[in-house]
Chains A and B, each alone.
Chain A
Amino acid sequence: GSTSTESSSSSSESSGKGKGIALAYDVGGRGDQSFNDAAYAGFEKARKDFGIGGEDVEPSDGESDADKVQRLTDLARQGYNPVIGVGFAYAPAIKEAAEKFPKTTFGLIDDETVKGDNIANLVFSEEQGSYLAGVAAAKATKSKVVGFVGGVEVPLIKKFEAGFVQGVKDTDPSVEVKTQYLTQPPDMGGFSKPDLGKEAARGQLDADADVLYHAAGLAGQGVIEAVAAKDKWVIGVDSDQYKQKTLDKYKDSILTSMTKDVSGAVYNLVKSVHEGEPKTGVVRFDLKSDGVGLSDSNPAFAKMTEIQDAVKKAREGIVNGDIKVDTTP
């Protein structure tokens, strides 16, 4: 038979604007309360603002690059533009698909190793935001012990750890940082098992930690729950977790959150495509561009002037290049 590309709607591809935005998720998918959901938020906002259509697609278990290529191809040939791969796992697939559909813009989140004329690499400097979280933690701790809970021990999460640890140590070298990962790849359960997060957090709390920073996706909810039960501080991740509805019960313990504006990244890419000037190449979201940052929606946090000052100072240092933040611990 014919290929799926030839048979249907290859016409719509040439029709310029296409049908709207397409999001292809990585493992976890929509509903992870984390960066997949953030991507979805940007997607929704863009659809509303620009009045366009859209499609978001989940992966299946144990799929290979070929499946991702097929997914991107399917989306591109149906006329979606831009097509965004959420997660670095899409890198090889985007490279292949982008060659097949030169007129479609492909967004690739969290990866800058794959380049192309129609590829926008949306990357974040999580280490910078995490550095600020480290500064806040070092200032907020009374016991001089703070903790980091990572979901799965992958380089991306190690970036969070690296920034956090550096931030803590630069602020107060006497503060001890406990580090804990929940699972090892390819067991991605560490992002989706709140019970593990809860127990890991308890372990750190028992070891006297009083400010915990988590980068554990959904499992982070367990961390927050455990910390709240002990009335200590927790620092959220990705979105402003103080405002998250499901965490309403614990919000008083959420000191701040290290935000990673995946939503904005998606939105801006769509916007650029919509306006006919699609972004390509590396688009970095860092402190400078407000792509990452530290939220202060918790009024208690906003009132801690000493911490706010320290954070502000660190922020300036990073933005003007005085402070270099490592990406590996």
Chain B
Amino acid sequence: MKKFDKDRLILALGGPVLAIVVAVALTSVVLVASGRSPVQPYALMFEYAMHSDIQVLIVNQAATYYLAALAVAIGFRMNLFNIGVDGQYRLAAMVAALVGASVALPGPLHVLLILVVAMLVGAFWAGIAGILKTTRGVSEVVSTIMLNSIATSVVAYLILPAQFGEQRGNNLTTGEIPESGWFPGIDLGPAGEVYGFVVVAALCGVLYWLVLNRTRFGFDLRATGASESAAIASGVDAKRMILTSMLISGAVAGLTGMPILLGDSHTYSLDFPAGLGFTGITIALLGRNHPVGIALGALLIAFLDKASATLDYNGYEKEIATIMQGLIVMAVVISYEAVRRYGLRRQQQKVGEELAAEAAAADGTDQKTRKEVSA
């Protein structure tokens, strides 16, 4: 088994390393082609990211991304493509903020209520796609795209002062959540405050791993993703599985907005960040649906997002970072695929070698077994 372990290490590290190298190289090509220094932008970004306040920003942003990506990844593990995380978290954050702002409960309970509401709303919105798929066979790709847009309208309607919202200056908000409903952060002094929700996000990752890899339910879910037909034959109720995983995915999506809502803005307003769901897709892909991979992916994208701010001050276009994100995703998936193929080939080779050796060694006994069998 020793040999396999070494291979595995190569396989595990080969993909990402190859990818980053290729992506950086390609970005440099773009930079050179447009007459820029091919290395200075990286130097600037790294230097900028060395500051502790930027690091706090990166970590906070990564936590948000992480939750969005986990939500996407749960679907991916089942071969479900939940493009709707975006709509799910926006609707969930808005309703949760409304509820949170309109009740007063003792600290932990208040937070808990907000979280439960967010998860329920997220699950509900994803559940619509789940039900449409299981009962009517509507592709979740299409239905979640539609539901994203519908969520936009629903939020726009609910937040009207005539409905549940309030107007504050030129902004519409849900009203402020009282302090009992805030999630305490980790104060790092001048560097700022790390969202307390970072811990929750990490816990979600652990839970994700545990459930998927160590429980019967997780096994069923992965089996369904690997081969729906085999899973059904093995006793999985595929429809229920689709609905369940859609609900879970939606519930996690519902948490996506919580780090910001509970740790920073304490209200849902028109400028609440949108589009996190799509970044989540990218990150889930980067992290190959693995909780650690996703964490790294989230940090990487958050780094590019935040550190690229410095490019503007130094005469570079911030878009360099966006280009890099695209190239990284492309390079990562291509190199993963290349490495995966290499791995499979190696394995097949090994199986062949080992069997040949065994056959050669056992040629005599082989004949004997056959005789026995036919006797």
> Touching in the complex, A and B, CB below 8 A?
yes
Complex Cα distance, B270 from A92, in Å, reads 13
Complex Cα distance, B36 from A291, in Å, reads 42
B102 at the A interface (CB under 8 A): no
A91 touches B54 (CB 8 A): no
A299 at the B interface (CB under 8 A): no
Residues of A within 8 A of B274 (CB): 62, 186
Query: Which residues of A, 1-31, contact B by the 8 Å Cβ criterion?
Result: 1-7, 26
Binds B, one of A70-78, A131-139, A167-175, A198-206: A70-78
- Type the 1/0 row for B162-190, where 1 means its CB is closer than 8 Å to any CB of A: 00000111111000000000000000001
- Type the 1/0 row for A52-73, where 1 means its CB is closer than 8 Å to any CB of B: 0001011011111111001101
Complex Cα distance, B57 from A63, in Å, reads 11
Complex Cα distance, B89 from A294, in Å, reads 43
Interface SS of B by simple majority: helix
State the Cβ distance, B151 to closest chain A Cβ, in Å. Answer: 10
State the Cβ distance, B242 to closest chain A Cβ, in Å. Answer: 29
A contact residues, total (Cβ < 8 Å): 42
A161 at the B interface (CB under 8 A): no
Residues of A within 8 A of B308 (CB): 60
Question: Would A64 and B265 be within 8 Å (CB), given that A91-B171, A154-B172 are in contact?
Answer: yes
Residues of B within 8 A of A78 (CB): 313
B270 touches A3 (CB 8 A): no
Which of A55, A67, A153, A154 lies in contact with B306, CB distance below 8 A? A67
Residues of A within 8 A of B275 (CB): 61-62
A62 touches B54 (CB 8 A): no
State the Cβ distance, B150 to closest chain A Cβ, in Å. Answer: 11
State the Cβ distance, B63 to closest chain A Cβ, in Å. Answer: 11
Question: Would A66 and B53 be within 8 Å (CB), given that A55-B313, A88-B170 are in contact?
Answer: no
Which of B156, B167, B260 lies in contact with A64, CB distance below 8 A? B260
B37 at the A interface (CB under 8 A): no
State the Cβ distance, A43 to closest chain B Cβ, in Å. Answer: 15
Complex Cα distance, B156 from A71, in Å, reads 28
B5 at the A interface (CB under 8 A): no
Using a CB–CB cutoff of 8 Å, the interface residues on chain A facing chain B are: 1-7, 26, 55, 57-58, 60-67, 70-71, 73-74, 78, 88-89, 91-92, 110-113, 153-156, 159, 184-187, 328
Sample of 20 further A-B pairs with CB below 8 A, known A62-B274, A74-B309, A89-B271: A2-B52, A3-B192, A6-B190, A26-B271, A55-B313, A57-B309, A57-B312, A60-B305, A62-B275, A65-B260, A71-B309, A111-B170, A154-B172, A155-B172, A156-B170, A159-B170, A184-B156, A186-B90, A186-B271, A186-B274
